[in-house]
């Protein structure tokens, strides 16, 4: 489901049996570099091209090195376990933000904040109606998230410490026939939205 561009010039993608794939765009060569054994949704890479997978099968964010070693990066906090990690984005300081969609139509989703090294805390549980795609605004640094079943694109302001500095707000309401999935920003702040339906 998820694809990402690595700092090493390769595209990375996850598979439905936990596969981590590396794709060379010039040749089309596809290499499986590892596996989580779960079911991957979103994937992101860090500056060393380690691949982090939102693994809904293992209810965790996993980390796979270029050598194929896979470990659990986070499975939630001490008082709340991850349910359905769906999409992730890195901030410049290495903090990762991860959506947790929760159970379908149960409105028990949330957004996690994972510090470098894996220390995890709940960022907000205000975005709970199937929290999905996630992106950082390139200009104001706020966090945007798809709430697929609201449906809307939500905005969460972030403070200097990376935590939410105010309540989640609707940045863009969507019509009921739209189920948004992934989002990304262009460098000028325009928002791209991928839709599951239509």
In tens, the pLDDT along 118-163 reads 999 999 999 999 999 999 999 999 999 999 999 999 999 999 999 9
pTM: 0.96
pLDDT given at position 139: 93
pLDDT for 156 equals 98
State how far the Cα of 151 lies from the Cα of 174, in Å rounded to an integer.
Answer: 5
Collapsing DSSP to helix, strand or coil, 36 comes out as coil
């Amino acid at each position: 489901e998820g694809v990402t561009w690595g700092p090493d010039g390769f595209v990375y993608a996850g598979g439905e049996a936990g596969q981590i794939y590396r794709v060379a765009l010039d040749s089309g060569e596809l290499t499986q570099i590892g596996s989580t054994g779960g079911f991957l949704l979103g994937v992101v890479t860090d500056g060393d091209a380690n691949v982090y997978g939102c693994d809904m099968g293992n209810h965790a964010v996993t980390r796979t090195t270029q050598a194929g070693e896979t470990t659990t990066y986070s499975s939630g906090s001490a008082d709340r376990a991850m349910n359905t990690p769906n999409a992730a984005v890195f901030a410049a300081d290495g903090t990762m933000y991860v959506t947790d969609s929760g159970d379908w139509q149960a409105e028990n989703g949330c957004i996690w904040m994972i510090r470098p090294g894996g220390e995890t805390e709940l960022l907000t549980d205000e975005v709970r109606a199937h929290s999905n795609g996630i992106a950082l605004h390139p200009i104001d640094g706020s966090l945007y998230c798809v709430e697929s079943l609201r449906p809307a694109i939500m905005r969460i302001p972030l403070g200097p410490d990376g935590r939410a500095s105010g309540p989640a707000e609707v940045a863009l309401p969507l019509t009921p026939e739209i189920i948004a999935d992934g989002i990304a920003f262009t460098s000028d702040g325009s928002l791209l939205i991928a839709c599951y339906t239509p």
